[in-house]
Amino acid sequence: MSTTEEKEQTAGEQGGEHGPEEATHEPVKPGAWRFLIPIVAFGAGFVSLLVLGWVIFPHLLYGEKQQPVDFSHVVHQEAVDEGCESCHFFREDGSFSGIPKLENCVQCHEEPMGESSEEAKFIAEYVEPGKEIPWHVYARQPQCAFFSHAAHVKMAELECAKCHGPVGDSDHARPYQYNRLTKYSRDIWGWNIAGFKKKTADRMKMDDCAECHEESKGHKDACFVCHK
């Protein structure tokens, strides 16, 4: 009890420097708001570090590039006869065609089909000089990994969107993001900076492949299944 009294007295004395009114009516107040300083400082630090970690850090870590041509899946889905397979098909030897070559585009785009400036640019830059379009592949795995579309699309009958997300329904080619250190696509390393994923297409690291394999096959694979 005696110590509290002493404290109140000191607070009163300190308050006295500012003005007699304060000191007499509310002797405890100035000490209380000082007590807030570390909390505010902590809060400010916490928030700025959160911003650093969640907003700035991803920009430092991941570079961004635009696709060379803003390709619209929606526009083309209507233009082609056989759906996705007009452009993404299996060859007779079992390999997957991937992103179509210029030769495929030229079947329709020898001459401009419409009036869009994107198409004019595409024709001037690639069709006329006969230059392949250097697409950035969002799903590209490192060289040591082996992937088989035949196994997943023909045998396991998985939807493209399961692993790729809704690319097939996109009206614009989204920017390609890559890890500046490893040069891996952000689709491999995952979109959530904290490493959470909600669905398969959010991330496609080795453990994500292995997770689904273990679920569907009931055992772990040997390394050579997915490596070469």
Partner 1 sequence: MKEVHHKGHGNEHHKGHGRTYKYGMVIDLDKCTGCGACMVACMAENNLPFRKDNTNDRLTQNFWMRVYKISNGRPFPDSEICYIPRPCQHCEGYDHHHHTPCVSVCPATATDYSHETGIVSQIYTRCFGCRYCMAACPYHVRVFNWWDPKWPKGMNKYLNPDVSVRMRGVVEKCSFCYHRLQRARNKAYVEGRREVHEDEYQTACTQACPAGAVTFGDLINPKHKVYKLKDSPYAFRLLEKLGTNPKVYYVSTKDWVRKAGKVFLGNEGRG
- The distance in angstroms from the start CA to the end CA of the chain is 78
- 222 sits near partner 1 (criterion: CB under 8 A): yes
227 lies in the binding site for partner 1 (CB under 8 A)? yes
Q: Is 181 in the site for partner 1 (CB under 8 A)?
A: no
| Sign of the CA dihedral running 117, 118, 119, 120 | positive
Q: Look up residue 223 and give its DSSP letter.
A: G
Single residue of 20, 38, 134, 218 touching partner 1 by CB under 8 A: 218
What residues pair up with 63 in beta bridges, in sequence order? 178
Q: Which of 31, 58, 193, 213 binds ligand HEC (CB under 6 A)?
A: 213
Look up residue 194 and give its two tokens. 């904290």
For the bound state, the minimum distance from the C-beta of residue 40 to partner 1, rounded and expressed in Å, comes to 48
At residue 57, what is the residue type? Answer: F
* 182 in contact with partner 1 (CB under 8 A): no
Amino acid letter, 178 = Y
Nearer to ligand HEC, 27 or 119 (CB): 119
Kindly state whether residue 212 participates in binding ligand HEC, applying the rule CB under 6 A: yes
Minimum Å distance from CB 143 to partner 1? 5
- Nearest residue (CB) to ligand HEC, 61 versus 80: 80
* SS3 state of residue 88: coil
Q: Is 84 in the site for ligand HEC (CB under 6 A)?
A: yes
Task: Say how far apart CA 170 and CA 75 lie, in whole Å.
Answer: 9
Among 37, 39, 60, 144, binds partner 1 (CB under 8 A): 144
The DSSP element (H or E) to which 177 belongs, if any, is strand 176-179
Cα separations (Å) of 221 from 61, 120, 157, 188, 217?
32, 48, 19, 20, 9
To which H or E segment does residue 16 belong? Answer: helix 2-18
| CB of 57 vs ligand HEC, minimal distance in Å | 20
Binding site for ligand HEC (CB under 6 A): 67, 69, 71-73, 75-77, 79-80, 83-84, 86-88, 98-100, 104-105, 107-109, 113-114, 116, 118-119, 122, 135, 137-142, 144-149, 151-153, 155-156, 158, 160, 162-164, 167-168, 173, 188, 200, 204-206, 209-210, 212-213, 216, 221, 223, 225-227
